[in-house]
Structure 1
Amino acid sequence: MTINTMDIVGRISYHCDILFRVIDINEQGGKKIAVLFGEDIRLVADAPCEDLIVINQAHRMKLEQEYRSLEEQSFQLFRQDLALLREKQEYEVTDGYSKTLNYFQIPGRVLHLDGDPSYLKKCLSVYEKIGIPVTGIHCNEKEMPMKIGQLIDHYRPDILVVTGHDAYSKAKGKKSDINAYRHSREFVQTVREARKKIPHLDQLVIFAGACQSHFESLIHAGANFASSPSRVNIHALDPVYIVAKVSLTPFMERINLWDILRNTLTGEKGLGGIETRGVLRTGMPFNDEDLNES
């Protein structure tokens, strides 16, 4: 069977457990080697074309349905969390519902840099459903360190997401060696450049990393949240759930790390972080007449 770019394939040696898109095909040592991007998992991999099989429609739909079901479960749990959070905020603003007050809220603005345009589109759709103000930019991982300073100056975000594809290769070194990772070095450099602009951890909240990324280096570089503590794969939407919780948590409250991880699809093996404040701000009064006139 001939393998072509943009085919949806599985790796025979891994029992076709993950759906991949074929991004490129190169010849190495007389063998055709495909560059693969995960369809739902933020993983990049190389594989011999002879180890690949084009996934038929029935099997593809089955795997996609499983992922959609997990996404929906995670999203519903996240919405329940947000409903409780908003109820608590209303209780506090209205002094235990004893006062009728017109107030407004300003969620944290997100700048989301993604190495994969397909993932970026999925993430922007979820941000929109939740009501998070976001600017999404597709940017090759290797270009992120050079572009991040200018982007921060232009968009002035409260929250920065630096993600895309990554992978650990045992053949390139130990897990402690950042050179053994596909794009962890670029993610780390991007976080460092961002921290040169805004050093304070609560003035710019940063999520960085993708599948199997070098978690410790990202945290030490200045990320508030990162992947992947156990070097496991993370889901394409995991960064969204983390930064959305930060965006909608009041700036006087500390983020509970377990609360922020439990509704992600990957959990604490794939994601971690440090104590961080929310960035939501509440104001008043809210003028309904001005809203109706605009």
Structure 2
Amino acid sequence: MKQGDLVVRKSYGGDVLFRVEDIRSERALLKGTDYRLLADAPIPDLSVVRDPESTKATQQVRVKVNDSLRRMRQQREQQSVQIQSDVRLASQLQNQPYFEMPGKVLHLDGDGNYLRKSMQLYQTMQVPAHGVHAHESQMADLLYGLLPQVKPDIVVITGHDGVLKKQDDLHSLNSYKNSQNFVNAVRVARQYEKNRDGLVVVAGACQSHFEALLQNGSNFASSPGRILIHALDPVYIAIKASFTSIRETIDLSDVIHGTISGIDGVGGIETIGCCRIGLPRPKAVSAAGFIKNIG
């Protein structure tokens, strides 16, 4: 067994697929390939996976991911149709083409592979996004410079987390691997913009301290049930916030149940959307993706 191998844990019935990040003595440091989980395990408990697509863990996740992405695209299509109808009914300029400005995302991720997947999804859904790969402990310091530089409408603070072994006090941040780091980053975001509708904050990873993240200023956070969350769950919420109109609040039930992990994985508070409609359509469309024609 070596660094980079794909493995499952025998003692957990092979429920999650991991990649070996490091080997220390007789234990391996593991990162989930689909879930934002950081774990370690004794090497004898690990089984190397040669064909990940054949594993039950991967197959189950793929079904959930495809369902979530399909729902996301359907909602986006329905939203575009509704926007066109609303703005034309509200305007005397019936034939005037409009344009759309979705909210801009700043995405900080403690995992480079997840960041690449996240940025690909933002691009596919035409959401303007700026991504940064950084260790969870560095995120708070980085945000001091990134927030005024990028000027996002939405910030995603995520990576890896987990409840430490032999920790029974789930109310203490000391019981979590990275929740304190996420809380520190959320506090910096709220120092920059105190209004939760002025900057939408999505924070947390697997088993993160949901209550602490909300109390310190996050709009959406993981994990109410201290469960594993999928790597794309924070991205799904950010996209939903980006395309929800500033005249509407993000539908909590809709956005939570639209994630792969569901209500035990992600929760949040009422939040106004970030998308704006404009008139008339500019002759030159922004290369950064801020403007998307809809008329």
Return the TM-score normalized by structure 2.
0.92
Q: For residues 247 and 6 of structure 1, what CA distance do their matches in structure 2 show? A: 35
Structure 2 equivalent of residue 94 of structure 1: 88
Structure 1 equivalent of residue 2 of structure 2: 4
Q: Which runs of 5+ in 1 are unaligned?
A: none
Shift of 1:170: 4.4
Equivalence map 1:214-233=2 (5 Å): 214-233=209-228
Structure 2 equivalent of residue 175 of structure 1: 170
Q: Deviations over 1:95-131 (max 9, x none)?
A: 0798222111111000000000000111111111111
1:152 aligns with 2:147: yes
Distance 1:269 1:276, change over 3 A: same
Deviates more, 1:54-63 or 1:278-287: 54-63
Structure 1 equivalent of residue 243 of structure 2: 248
What SS is found at the alignment partner of 1:125?
A: helix
Structure 2 equivalent of residue 258 of structure 1: 253
| Pick aligned residue for 2:133 from 138, 142, 152 | 138
Structure 2 equivalent of residue 69 of structure 1: 63
1:116 aligns with 2:111: yes
Q: Is the 8 A contact 2:52 2:58 kept in 1?
A: no
Q: For residues 35 and 42 of structure 2, what CA distance do their matches in structure 1 show? A: 20
Structure 2 equivalent of residue 239 of structure 1: 234
| Pick aligned residue for 1:40 from 19, 34, 47 | 34
Q: For residues 66 and 195 of structure 1, what CA distance do their matches in structure 2 show? A: 37
Q: Is the 8 A contact 1:34 1:48 kept in 2?
A: yes
Q: Deviations over 1:19-75 (max 9, x none)?
A: 001101113xxxx11110000000010111111110132665654343233211110
Identity over the aligned pairs, expressed in percent? 42
Q: Deviations over 1:197-226 (max 9, x none)?
A: 111101110000000000000000100000
Where in structure 1 do 4 or more consecutive aligned residues deviate above 6 Å? none
Higher RCO, 1 vs 2 (CA within 8 Å, ≥6 residues apart): 2
User: Which residue identity lines up with residue 191 of structure 1 in the other structure?
Assistant: V
User: Which residue identity lines up with residue 46 of structure 2 in the other structure?
Assistant: L
Q: For residues 167 and 29 of structure 2, what CA distance do their matches in structure 1 show? A: 17
What SS is found at the alignment partner of 1:152?
A: helix
User: Which residue identity lines up with residue 242 of structure 2 in the other structure?
Assistant: S
Q: Is the 8 A contact 1:132 1:244 kept in 2?
A: yes
Shift of 1:232: 0.4
Structure 2 equivalent of residue 129 of structure 1: 124
What SS is found at the alignment partner of 1:95?
A: helix
1:85 aligns with 2:85: no
Structure 2 equivalent of residue 16 of structure 1: 14
Structure 1 equivalent of residue 204 of structure 2: 209
The CA RMSD measured in Å over matched residues stands at 1.6
User: Which residue identity lines up with residue 202 of structure 1 in the other structure?
Assistant: D
What SS is found at the alignment partner of 1:278?
A: coil
User: Which residue identity lines up with residue 84 of structure 2 in the other structure?
Assistant: E
Structure 2 equivalent of residue 25 of structure 1: 23
